[in-house]
Amino acid sequence: MAGVAPQRGQHGRESERLRLDPFVIAGGDARPRDQRDLMERPFFSLSKVKRVAPIFYEAGGQRVEIHGLAEHGMATIWDADVLIWAASQIVEAENAGLRTSRFVRFTPYQLLTAVGRATGAREYRLLKAAFARLQSTVIRTTIRNGEHWRRHQFSWINEWEERMTRDGRVEGMECVLPDWFYRGIIDRSLVLTIDPAYFRLTGGIERWLYRVARKHAGHQPQGWLFEMAHLHEKSGSLARVSDFALDLRRIAARQSLPGYRLAIRREGRRKLLHIRPVNLSTVPVDDGVDGHGISGAGTIGTSGASLSGFQAHEPQLSLWPEMRNRAPNLESNLDSNFLMLGRPDTNGGAGAADRSRDSHTRGPSPMPGDGP
């Protein structure tokens, strides 16, 4: 098997892969898990149409800015399936006592099948487009900034590469995740299990709303109450408030969110959405994770071969010599390419998490706290 491993990344920077030990995903199922910060804030476009208009959102004194390059557009909520899958694999390995890393090696077949995608040539081309958007999207945020104000600037993927066989088939991929995202995964209080049925949701707002429901309503019998206008702001949607509210009413009429039931309420002139959990047994339970979920363009896919090149292979990757991941050790993951503006926080780390609630949830709500 042959593959090209460049020594330097974009713009002449040394590749982070030269400094990080690889985390080789050797196959096997992992319970779907999502990162809590990504579930409650507008980090992704909800449309399949290319979006270059930035997102600005601030709540509870924490700010999020999302910028997409004109060439690729902003990463979408369908593209975020890549991050959900990576988080799921990392948490599963950590729970098993394995050493993980921001440097991840895998086959597209593993990723595509895990998120319910087909595995043909078209899907692989779409997957590469998703990776391009994830890498070109720039995030600036003060979330998890610790005691001192600090802004992180990063992309969802620092770098990525295809690995090919001598006959030209793409069999493996590798990518480097940003430090901000990785540390939000290995801190178990910042990770939630999600229903596998999430990947079958087809609408952008529908997917976003499930993640909001899972984060806020969780397993609370009383659920959570949101004002429509606030949900619109929280989504980052470019649609008019009236059109957005109409979409929510349609979703409520279909009752399509797995594990949750929606109801539209009126309080005076305000329109509210009440989200309540139902059939909680359908939601995966993970004892190792706090019990409290990818882009508008159909952009996930697999190998350029007409038939999947991965179906004939064993679960373990064959392109790389690593057959096992070592015991837990985070030393190789201390560096990243994020930008810190201002004085660095010396007290941060995997456990220094932001646990403040979204203070902009409007209207009196009888429901307590976050989901379990």
CB 139 within 8 Å of CB 64: yes
Quick check: 372 pLDDT over 50? Answer: no
Dist. CA 132–CA 126, nearest whole Å: 10
Tell me the pLDDT band of 19, cut-offs 50, 70 and 90.
confident
CA dihedral 217, 293, 201, 258 (to 10 degrees): -40
Residue 188: predicted pLDDT: 86
Closest CA to 50 of 82, 75, 18, 23: 75
Helix, strand, or coil here: 230?
helix
Residue 77 CA to residue 297 CA, distance in Å, equals 9
| 182: confidence class by pLDDT, cuts 50, 70, 90 | very high
Average pLDDT, the chain: 77
- The candidate with the shortest Cα–Cα distance to 161, out of 135, 184, 142, 197, is 135
Contact 77, 203 (CB under 8 A): no
What's the average model confidence in pLDDT over 266-276?
92
Answer for the pair 148, 345: CB distance below 8 angstroms, yes or no: yes
Query: Taking the model in full, what pTM does it have?
Result: 0.74
CA dist 299 and 296 (Å) reads: 8
The whole-angstrom separation of Cα 255 and Cα 257 is 6
- Output phi, psi for 251, to 5 deg: -65, -40
Dihedral sign computed on CA atoms, order 153, 83, 102, 119 = negative
**Residue 234: which of 73, 84, 360 has the closest Cα?**
360
- Burial class of residue 23, CB neighbours in 10 A (0-12, 13-18, 19+): buried
Domains defined along the chain, listed by start: 17-193 (no CATH), 196-284 (1.10.10)
Over range 232-241, report the average pLDDT.
95
What pLDDT score does 70 carry?
A: 94
46-102 pLDDT per residue, tens? 999 999 999 999 998 889 999 999 999 999 999 999 999 999 999 999 999 999 999
DSSP helix/strand/coil, 133? helix
What does each C-alpha distance from 36 to 140, 172, 211 come to in angstroms?
17, 29, 9
| pLDDT(274) > 90 | yes
| 312-347 per-position pLDDT tens digit | 233 334 455 544 555 544 333 433 333 322 333 333
